[in-house]
Chains A and B, each alone.
Chain A
Amino acid sequence: MPARPRTPSPSHLATLAVTIAITACGFPQRNDVYRLSAPYNFEFYDTHEPAARSFYAAHFAHFGAYELLMDPGPDLDQRMVEFESQVRAFVVDPPKFEPPADIVAPSWTRMAFETGQSMDWTHMLHSQLYDILTDERVRDKQAAGERAMAYYLSEAETAFSTRGYGHRWMEGGGPWAGAFRETYPAVNGILWAYHWHHAAVYEALMESDATSRAAELDRVIRVFADSVLADPPTVMPLTAEVAPRFSRMFPAAAHIFDNLHMMHDVANDVMASPLYTLPEKAAEIARLRDLMSYALQDETSAPAMPMGPGHEMSPASMRMPTLLPSGEWLPQGHPDANMGSMQDMMRELPPGPAPGGDAR
């Protein structure tokens, strides 16, 4: 009689499970975290769906460009032209829901997982601040916004820094600086136009009542389509110069979003640079993401702004973070912030003071 095949017992299964868990300690894991639970979630989408959906072409543009640059073959220029047409089509007819990054850029999000995760985590903060400013039930916008930011910053390695780095990393972070905007100015123009768009939507939502907010949002979307996208900015706009009221209320958020936008540009530049192999690009993107993280901001010196041809910053970025007599802070780029000197910009930005002290 043949022996009955030996089958696992419950103790075998438990031993195997423990072994797997211990083995996992050395593996990279997803570590996904859900958004802060709040009644205002998705209020912006539910109230202003066309405006909410107007963001989705930007998501597609950012992550789609990364994915194209994973394969720098001889036809890349032609593929980038076709890609630009696709992006412009999504501007006119956006998808119903936000396109997940891992579908738009399946290869890039595997290669630069943590950087993509930081971008998504910060998009979540973007979304929650739009929701808070939209939701009539939220009376204390400041408190609700700071609670959302506290939750965001509690993932310190994933969150972007609250320091005013301006354009320092994208201009002085490495020899790749400017590679994307110089090679693909048309697509880069769309991306910078969207950086204006994201901030302008905040400013529209600072209007005092729902009717005014809706009217101002309509105006912003119209101006974006008719003017900004048609004649894109020639430098990356800072949040505070486009959204001064929002940035005065949430100066740290203004810097977080500037650093997110800068990281988007850094990733484009590194991916477009011919100086690196693909593994080197992955390592360089990860390095820059770490340097721009909230977790390391007290130990990180930001590079000096290189001056001269090929290095661009907006005039507003000369306006440095400013402490007002009221104790409020204005972020970099705010029209009421103090002007810095060119020498200030040409020096490294030393590590900042420990969080919890000097700024709101």
Chain B
Amino acid sequence: MRSLVLSAFGAIAALGVATGAAAQEDFRAADLDRPIMVEDANPIEFRAWELEFGTRGGLAEGSQHLEGALELKAGLLRNVQIGVEVEPVLQRLGSGVGTETGLESASVHLLYGVRRETVSGPALAVRLDAASPGTGVLGNADPQGGLKGIASRSFGRLRLHGNGGYMIASESDGGDYWRGGLGGDYPWGLFSRALLADVYAEIPTSGARARVWTEVGMRIQISNVSVLDIGLATRLDEWEAGQPNVEIVLGFARVFGVGGTVPDYPNPSIR
């Protein structure tokens, strides 16, 4: 498992080198899973594109696993972010039992920035998700879809984010569930690094036990357009017999632009 995590880190580092000296301009953006599950209400900029790559791996006894995520986001309209994501997953089921691999799902989302933060009120956004079935025994059996509301509010340099929504899933994928969480980010010093933390829960409507995570991490700007994220996550509901199920989260994001038309120079008046 350690070699898997190291390999993933190597891949991230290689991507960073290959893309030159730059990724996300905003080290402070609380992007979903980079490294916490609670996200902020600010969509990506109009005409910006962002490539994110991340891994999440756990070393729990008897079930070592590694999840990946590759996501491409774009600001195709003002205040609108659209993204596509694939999530490969690998799980080793104990010595001698074997290893399973698959694609948990492929998904698309649309995030709309309803309002920006003002003196009197928070930033608000709404996010629509749709996911396809996955592949292999680790993949989702059926399509899923959901809606989420997002609010972000600053208190000095501390920003708090509240997420809440509903996800529709088939019985074979565990059924519908409510999802939500509270998170925050705080810049470490004035520049280039931010600390993030959250508590996030998924509550099945079937009455089954809630799934609860808590996470802490950091985003570090490593170039003018690139950000590295690293974090620790744990499923609080799975803490049993003193064996905390701790995962390492590691990721990379790079923002870029793509061509586009520019109007002719208007030769404006300077008088």
Q: Are A10 and B145 in contact (CB under 8 A)?
A: yes
Q: Is B234 close to A, CB under 8 A?
A: no
A325 within 8 A of B: no
A118 to chain B, nearest CB (A): 15
Using a CB-CB cutoff of 8 Å, which residues 220-271 of chain B contact chain A? 221, 224-225, 255-260, 262-271
| Chain A stretch 3-25: residues in CB contact (< 8 A) with chain B | 4-5, 7-10, 13, 16-17, 20-21, 23-24
Contact of A162 among B79, B128, B176, B269 (CB under 8 A): B269
Residues of B within 8 A of A329 (CB): 270
Complex Cα–Cα for A37 and B262 (A) = 10
- B contact residues around A4 at 8 Å (CB): 205
Query: Can you name the residue of chain B whose Cβ is closest to the Cβ of A278?
Result: B119
- 1/0 per residue A41-72: CB within 8 Å of B? 11001100000000000001000000000000
Q: Mark A22-33, 1 if CB is under 8 A from B, else 0.
A: 011001111111
CB <8 Å contact, A29 and B176:
no
Q: A32 touching B45 by the CB < 8 A rule?
A: yes
- Determine whether the beta carbon of A24 is less than 8 Å from that of B112: yes
Known: A27-B115, A31-B46, A34-B75. A13 touches B146 (CB 8 A): yes
Closest chain B residue to A103 by CB distance?
A: B187
Q: Which residue among A38, A103, A255 has the maximum number of chain B CB atoms within 10 Å of its CB? A: A103
A352 at interface (Cβ–Cβ under 8 A)? yes
- Report whether B48 and A110 are in contact in the complex, using a CB–CB cutoff of 8 Å: no
Segment 67-100 of A: residues with Cβ below 8 Å from B:
95-100
Q: Judge whether A13 and B268 touch: CB under 8 Å.
A: no
Given contacts A7-B205, A99-B190, contact A30 B271 (CB under 8 A): no
> Does A129 reach chain B (CB closer than 8 Å)?
no
CA distance A36 to B46 in the complex (A): 11
Please give, as numbers and ranges, the residues of chain B lying within 8 Å of A95 by CB-CB distance: 190-192
Which residue of chain A has the shortest Cβ distance to B194 in the bound complex?
A103
Q: Given that A10-B145, A99-B190 are known contacts, is A331 also in contact with B270, CB under 8 Å in the complex?
A: yes
**Closest Cβ–Cβ distance, residue A261 to chain B (whole Å):** 16
Given A13-B166, A34-B47, A96-B192, A355-B268 contact (CB < 8 Å): yes
Given contacts A95-B191, A110-B154, contact A42 B224 (CB under 8 A): yes
Are B78 and A33 closer than 8 Å at their CB atoms?
Answer: yes
Contact yes or no, A28 B115, CB < 8 A? yes
> For chain A residues 92-151, which have a beta carbon within 8 Å of chain B?
95-100, 102-104, 106-107, 110-111, 113, 146-147, 149-151
Contact present for A164 and B271 (CB under 8 Å):
yes
**Set of chain B residues within 8 Å of A359, measured between Cβ atoms:** 267-271
B28 → chain A closest CB, angstroms: 7
A37 engages B156 (CB within 8 Å):
no
Known A-B contacts A34-B45, A34-B47, A97-B191; A353 and B271 likewise in contact (beta carbons under 8 Å): yes
A8 / chain B contacts, CB cutoff of 8 Å: 147, 166, 168
Binary flags per residue of B2-42, CB closer than 8 Å to A gives 1, else 0:
00000000000000000001100010100000000000001
State the CA gap A138–B28 with chains docked (Å). Answer: 33
Complex alpha-carbon distance, A35 and B44, angstroms = 12
CB nearest neighbor in B for A90: B190
Contact of A34 among B48, B156, B263 (CB under 8 A): B48
Residues of chain A within 8 A of B114, CB atoms compared:
20-21, 23-24, 27, 29
**Cα-based distance from A355 to B268 in the complex (angstroms):** 4
* Shortest CB distance B113–A (Å): 6
- Is B117 an interface residue when CB atoms closer than 8 A count as contact? yes
Which B residues lie within 8 Å of A332 (CB)?
Answer: 270
B118 & A358 in contact (Cβ 8 Å cutoff): no
Task: Report if B160 contacts A (CB, 8 A).
Answer: no
Assess whether A35 is in contact with B257, with CB atoms less than 8 Å apart.
yes
Q: Which secondary structure dominates where chain A touches chain B? A: loop
Which A residues are CB-close (under 8 A) to B92?
none
- CB <8 Å contact, B118 and A110: yes
Residues on A with beta carbons closer than 8 Å to the beta carbon of B260: 36-37
Measured CB to CB, the closest approach of chain B to A258, in angstroms, equals 11
Residues of B within 8 A of A150 (CB): 262-266
Decide: B147 and A13 in contact? CB cutoff 8 A.
yes
| Nearest CB of chain B from residue A35's CB, rounded to whole Å | 7
> When the two chains form their complex, are residues A28 and B118 in contact, meaning their CB atoms are under 8 A apart?
yes
Is the CB–CB distance between A354 and B47 below 8 Å?
A: no
Q: A21-B114, A331-B270 provided; 20 other pairs, C-beta below 8 A?
A: A10-B145, A10-B168, A24-B114, A27-B116, A28-B115, A29-B79, A30-B79, A31-B78, A32-B46, A33-B45, A96-B191, A96-B192, A99-B190, A102-B154, A103-B191, A113-B118, A150-B263, A252-B270, A321-B270, A321-B271
* Residue positions of A touching B, CB distance < 8 A: 4-5, 7-10, 13, 16-17, 20-21, 23-24, 27-38, 41-42, 45-46, 60, 95-100, 102-104, 106-107, 110-111, 113, 146-147, 149-151, 153-154, 162-164, 251-252, 255, 282, 294, 297-298, 321, 329, 331-332, 352-360
**Contacts A/B (CB < 8 Å), 16 sampled:** A8-B166, A30-B42, A32-B43, A33-B45, A95-B192, A96-B221, A97-B221, A106-B154, A110-B118, A147-B262, A162-B268, A255-B270, A294-B268, A297-B269, A332-B270, A353-B271
Please list the 8 inter-chain residue pairs (A to B) with the smallest Cβ-Cβ separation, ordered nearest first.
Answer: A37-B257, A27-B115, A34-B48, A95-B191, A146-B265, A32-B45, A162-B268, A355-B268
Interface residues of B (CB under 8 A from A): 21-22, 26, 28, 42-43, 45-48, 75, 78-79, 112-119, 123-124, 126, 128, 145-147, 154, 156-157, 166, 168, 176, 187, 190-192, 205, 221, 224-225, 255-260, 262-271
